[in-house]
Structure 1
Amino acid sequence: MKTLFKKAAAILLLSLLWACNPAPEAIRYGEATCARCKMMIMDQEFGAELVTTKGKIYTFDSIECLAAFYLADGVPHSDVHSMWITPFNNPGNLVEVSDAAFLHSAGLPSPMGMNLSGYANRTDAQQMQTKYGGNVLAWEDVFTILDQKTGNQPAQNSEKPCCGGCAAEVATN
């Protein structure tokens, strides 16, 4: 009986630990709003998420909004557990940004106008590059593109738009 109790306690403990592990969730397209620009998240090829160490999930309508939120310390970097993007060629799935590859191509406009799309791996990004042109990037390179387009990002609660040129800019001007 003691062995059965120990096994049940171990299973319960492992279940609790697994349940408390921060993880991304499916983006509710057409319902969720972007944590950065506050626009409704509609385009299933461009969604993104930031998950905190406490399990809070911030959703974004584009890679550039995720990157701008991160750069502007929307959440202290020490509290960021993981960041995820929706692969352009595989909507409905999420890939961690550290594993992903990105394409910067005028042939593939993104919701906020920075022409960034994400992919599960470099091979997928290169295949899309063949079709649409542009440059294949790593996650760190996305920050360079963001800086080139907008300069240093404003604080999270600034009146400025998330990434320049999006509809949020029209609403604030």
Structure 2
Amino acid sequence: MKTILYFLSLVLLTTLVVSCTPEPKPIAYGQANCAHCNMTVADNRYGAELVNDKGKLYFFDSAECLMAYVNEQPEQGEQAAFLLVTDYTNPNELISAKDAHFLQAKALPSPMGMYITAIADKAAATKMQQEVGGRLLTWNEAVKAVQNNERPE
């Protein structure tokens, strides 16, 4: 009997540990609301996601909403298990925000009007910049641009 109780306790403990492991989930476009501005997350080229250290998911309608959120609540960004943005060149694919390349260009209007587009591949981002203009930014530069409300002219 003790062996069965020990085994069941071990299974329950393992299940609890595994179920609490933070991991990203696909964004439910058209159903999820932005944690920053409360708009419906609708455009699958611009969505973003924060997964906190406890596994709670926060969805955003754009990279700039995620950036504004971490500007306003820096501890959320610092303690996040995942900061993710959608790769514009591959809609619905979430990539690490800190590894993404951000193109801020007037020709690419994003949902919140900061004209910030995330792209996974640096060569693709550079090519797009050559085609539409604008400036390439790192995660930290883009966060600062949002903080300073910098928009292209």
TM-score bracket, normalised by the shorter chain, equals 0.7 to 0.9
Aligned pairs for 1:1-173 (under 5 A) are 19-73=19-73, 76-149=76-149
Match of 1:83, as an amino acid? Answer: L
Deviates more, 1:118-127 or 1:81-90: 118-127
Deviates more, 1:128-137 or 1:47-56: 128-137
Cα displacement string for residues 42-92 of structure 1 (whole angstroms, at most 9, x for unaligned residues): 111000001101000100001110000011017544531120000111011
Q: Is the 8 A contact 1:40 1:61 kept in 2?
A: yes
SS at match of 1:149: coil
Matched with 2:6 is none
- The alignment of Structure 1 onto Structure 2 pairs a total of residues equal to 142
Return closer, same or farther for 1:77/1:89 CA change in 2, 3 Å cut-off: closer
Identity of aligned residues (%): 38
Counterparts of 1:21 and 1:94, CA distance in 2: 18
Cα displacement string for residues 16-60 of structure 1 (whole angstroms, at most 9, x for unaligned residues): 765543121110000000000000111110000011010001000
Counterparts of 2:120 and 2:16, CA distance in 1: 30
Matched with 1:171 is none
SS at match of 2:81: strand
Match of 2:21, as an amino acid? Answer: N
Counterparts of 1:51 and 1:35, CA distance in 2: 12
Shift of 1:143: 1.8
SS at match of 1:102: strand
Q: Is the 8 A contact 1:122 1:136 kept in 2?
A: no
Unaligned runs of 5+ residues in structure 2 are 1-9
Q: So what's the TM-score if we normalise by structure 1?
A: 0.73
Q: Is the 8 A contact 1:99 1:121 kept in 2?
A: no
SS at match of 1:30: coil
Q: So what's the TM-score if we normalise by structure 2?
A: 0.82
Q: Is the 8 A contact 2:52 2:76 kept in 1?
A: no
